[in-house]
Chains A and B, each alone.
Chain A
Amino acid sequence: MKRPTRIIAASAAAAAIALIAAGCSADGGTDSGGDVTLTFWGSYGNGGNSAQQDVLEKTLIPAFEKAHPGVTVKYLDVPYDDLLQKLTTSAAGDELPDLVRADLGWVPRFADLGVLVPLSTEMDDFQTLADATYPGVLATNLWKGEYYGLPLDTNTRVLISNPDALAAAGLDAPPATFEEFEAAAAKLDGTGVTLFADGGLGAWNLMPWIWSGGGDITDAEVTKASGYLDSAANVKTVQMLVDLYTEGQASSGLIGNEGAVSTSDGLPAGTYATILDGPWMTGIWAGQFSDFAPIYSPVPAGDGGSISVVGGEDIVLTTASKHQKEAMDFIRFTQSEEFQLALVPTGQLTVIQALGEKQIELDPKLEMFTRQLETARSRLAIPNASEVDTILNTELVPAFEGTVSVKEALASAAAKIDELLAS
C-alpha cells in the first residue's frame, strides 16, 4: 500500500513543479513573425455582468484587431475584488500585462511604484485625447505633474429617491437643497421611513456632501488638510449628517454597520427615502424590483452648489509592456466614439464630453448622471488614497456616536491626513 502512494505523491509533486516552471515561462508574450499579442486585464465581467465583457470581446476587440492586422488582444477578466491584489503581486513579480483597466483610485498608487508609462510624455497626441474627456475624470490620472492614463469609463453618484417614501414626507419631488433635505427629515419623523442611507464615511460617500457644502478636504496643491477639512463649512455639512443620524434619519450603514439594511434593498422597499448612488443601480433593480420606479435628481445643493464625486476606470500602460506602440494604438481606440458608445447600453458612461448627448439618446435613464458629471470632481489623487478612507471612517464615527464634536473629529482626521501627505 505504502509504496504506490509514495510514487503517486512523488510524481504529483514532480508534476506540480513542472507546472510551476511552465507557468513562469509561458507568459512574457514574446512573439515570432511580427505578430504582437497585447494582454489586457480588467473587471468588465465582474459580478456575472457578461453584457460588458461580451461587447468587449465579441465586438470591440475584433474591430480593433481587424483595423490592426498582426495585433491580437488577449483580455483577462479578474473579479474587481481580486484585481488590486493581483496587480500588486504582479507588479512585485514583474508580471504585469501590457494594459490594465484600473480603478481610478489606483492610478497614482501604481504610478508611484514606477510601473506605469507616463502617457502625457510618451503619446504625441495625448493632449488632444485628454482635452476631449471630462476634467474631473482626467484628473484621476495625474501624479506628480504627469498623466499616467486616460479615462476609460466613468460614473458618478446622484440622489436616487423612492417616490412613495417621499410621499410619506408630503413631498412630490426629491429635496434639491440641504435645507429641503433637512426639512424632509423632520417630516419623516415617526413614519418609519429613514430619509437617507449610505454604506460608509469614505471619500466616495462623504465628498459629494463636503463639496456641495462649499468645503474641500485639502488645499488645491494637496499638501495640507488642516484648515480645509476642519473648515467651518465642513463642520456645518457634517453636523447636518450627524444630526440626521442622531434623529434616526440616516442609516447606521453610514457608520459602518454591515448588518444595516443595504441601500439597494432598502430604497425599493421604502425603508429609505433617498440614497446617493451610481448608474449601475438601474440594472440591479431591473431584476429584483422590476416595479420600482426611482426618481433620479442632482445631489442636494449647499453653499457650493450640487457637486458629486467621479468614479470609474482609467486605462493604463505598464512599463513591463514590450509592445508600447501597439498598446498606445489600443488606448487611442478606447477613446473613439465606436468604443465609448458601444458600452453605453451596458451601463458604462462615456468619458468623452462631446458624446454626452448621444449617450442620453441611447439611454435616457443616464441623463441625470451625464449632467451631474459636468461638475463632478475627483477624490484625492494620491498613492495612499485608501488610507484617507480609513482615516475618515475611523475619526468621524465617534462624532456620529456623539463621543466627540464634529469639529474635533474633523480636526483629528485632518491632522492624520496631514501626516499622510507629508510622508
Chain B
Amino acid sequence: MTFSTLATGAAADAVAPAPRPRIRRRRLSATPYLFMLPGFVLFVVTVVYPIVQAVQMSLYDWRIIGSATSEFLGLDNYARALTDEHFWLSFGNTVFYLVATIPPQIVLGLLIALLLHARSPIRPLLRVLYYLPVVTSWVVVSLLFRFLFADQGLINWALGATGLTAGDTSWLGDRWTGMLAISALGVWKGIGWSMMIFLAALQGVPQSLIEAAIVDGANPWQRFRAVTLPAIRAAMAFVTVMLVIGAFNVFISVYLMTGGGPAGRTDVLLTYMYQLAFGELEFGYGSAIAVILTLIVLALSLAQLRLFRDRDGVTA
C-alpha cells in the first residue's frame, strides 16, 4: 500500500499542479493545528529527538548510564572513523552492495514492468508473484538465502550439477563471494518494488505520443528511447534515490547471512555501527558513523535529484 501511494505521489509530482487562484485570506483557526498536534508530537518524540540525540552522542565518549559523565570529544569520533581501517572496509562493502544491486534492480525492474504493461490475462497474477518477495520478511528471506548459499546449499549443487563450477565454493566464507550472495538477495527482493513503481509510471505515458511515434515510423526501441523513457524520468529519479538510500541501510541480510564474518570482512556500515554500539558500548563512535552515513546519503540524494532535474532542463 505504502509503495503504491508513493508511486502515485511521484507520478503526481511529475505533473506540476497549476498555481492556485488567489483567494481571500481565511480566518485563522486553531482547529487544523490541533489535529496536527498529536502526529507532530509523535514525529518529534520518535524521529527528531533521536536524531538530535545521536548527533549529540557522536561528540562524546558517550556513557549510556544517565548518572555517568560523558567526556566531550568534539570531532574526535569523526577523525577516528577516517583513520579506522574497518570503517573503510565496511564503507567499501556498502559501496559494493550499492553498485551490485541498483543497476540490476532498475534494468530488470523496468524490463519486467514493460513486459507486464502489455495486456495479458495472467498480468495480475504475474504482478503479485513479482511483488511477493518485496512484502516477505527480510528475516525469512535472509535465512532462506543463507541456506541457498551454504557450502552444501542449492546454489552449489546447481553449479556443480551443471558443471559450471566444482560446486565447492564457500560463498559465505569469503569477502567478495559473501557480498555477492548478499547482493543477490538484495536484487531478488527489490526488483518487485522498482517494477511496481515503473509500472505505475508507464500507465502515465500518453498513448497519443506513442501512436504519433508509430505513425512517424519509429521502431519499438526508438519509441522506448524517445517517448517512454523521458516520460518516466521522474519515476526513474525516485527509484534511484530510494534504492541508494536503501543500499546504505542494508543490515538485516548481512547480519543474518554472514554476521559480518569471516573476521568482519563482510561488515557493512550499519553492522559495524551496531557492533560498536551494542557489542562494545561505543555509542559515541557508533553515532558518529551513523551521522556520517546520514550525510553521505543526504549528499548523494541531493546530487541525484539535481542531476535528474538538470537533464530535464526544468528548474523546479
Contact = CB atoms under 8 A, between A and B. Distances in A.
Interface of A: 6-7, 9-10, 13-14, 16-17, 20, 84-85, 88, 91-92, 94, 109, 113-115, 200, 252, 255-261, 383-384, 386-387, 390, 393-394, 397-398
A92 B257 CA distance: 30
B151 A252 contact: yes
Contacts of B45: 20
A295 to B, nearest CB: 25
Instruction: Give the dominant DSSP class at B's interface.
Output: loop
B32 to A, nearest CB: 9
Interface in B35-54: 35, 38-39, 41-42, 45
Given A252-B170, A390-B264, A397-B262, A259 B39 contact: no
19 contacts: A9-B39, A10-B35, A13-B39, A17-B38, A17-B41, A88-B278, A92-B64, A92-B65, A200-B261, A257-B170, A257-B172, A258-B173, A259-B153, A259-B172, A259-B173, A261-B150, A390-B264, A393-B261, A393-B263
B263 A397 contact: yes
A92 B281 CA distance: 11
Nearest to B151: A259
A9 B38 CA distance: 9
A67 B128 CA distance: 60
A374 B28 CA distance: 79
A394 B173 contact: no
A6 B258 CA distance: 44
B92 interface: no
B171 A259 contact: yes
B219 to A, nearest CB: 45
A91 B283 CA distance: 13
Interface in B278-316: 278-281
B189 interface: no
Nearest to B174: A257
A390 B257 contact: no
A256 B153 CA distance: 17
Contacts of B275: 390
Interface residues of B, number: 34
B261 A10 contact: no
A198 B262 CA distance: 13
A200 B260 CA distance: 13
A394 B264 contact: yes
A91 B65 contact: yes
A252 B174 CA distance: 11
B65 A260 contact: no
B208 to A, nearest CB: 31
Contacts of B279: 386-387, 390
A13 B38 contact: yes
Given A84-B278, A258-B259, 9 more contacts: A16-B38, A17-B42, A91-B65, A255-B173, A255-B262, A257-B261, A261-B151, A393-B264, A394-B263
Contacts of B41: 13, 17
Given A257-B170, A259-B170, A85 B278 contact: yes
B80 to A, nearest CB: 13
B44 to A, nearest CB: 11
A387 B68 CA distance: 22
B203 interface: no
Contacts of B38: 10, 13-14, 16-17
Interface in B225-275: 257-259, 261-264, 275
Instruction: List 10 A-B pairs, minimum CB-CB distance, nearest first.
Output: A257-B173, A256-B262, A13-B38, A256-B261, A259-B172, A397-B263, A92-B64, A259-B150, A258-B172, A394-B263
Residue in A113, A258, A390 with the greatest tally of chain B CB atoms within 10 Å: A258
Nearest to B274: A85
B65 A16 contact: no
Contacts of B67: 114
Most buried by B among A88, A257, A386: A257
A278 to B, nearest CB: 20
B89 to A, nearest CB: 11
A205 B67 CA distance: 37
Contacts of A85: 278
Nearest to B264: A394
B193 interface: no
Contacts of B263: 255-256, 393-394, 397-398
Nearest to B171: A259
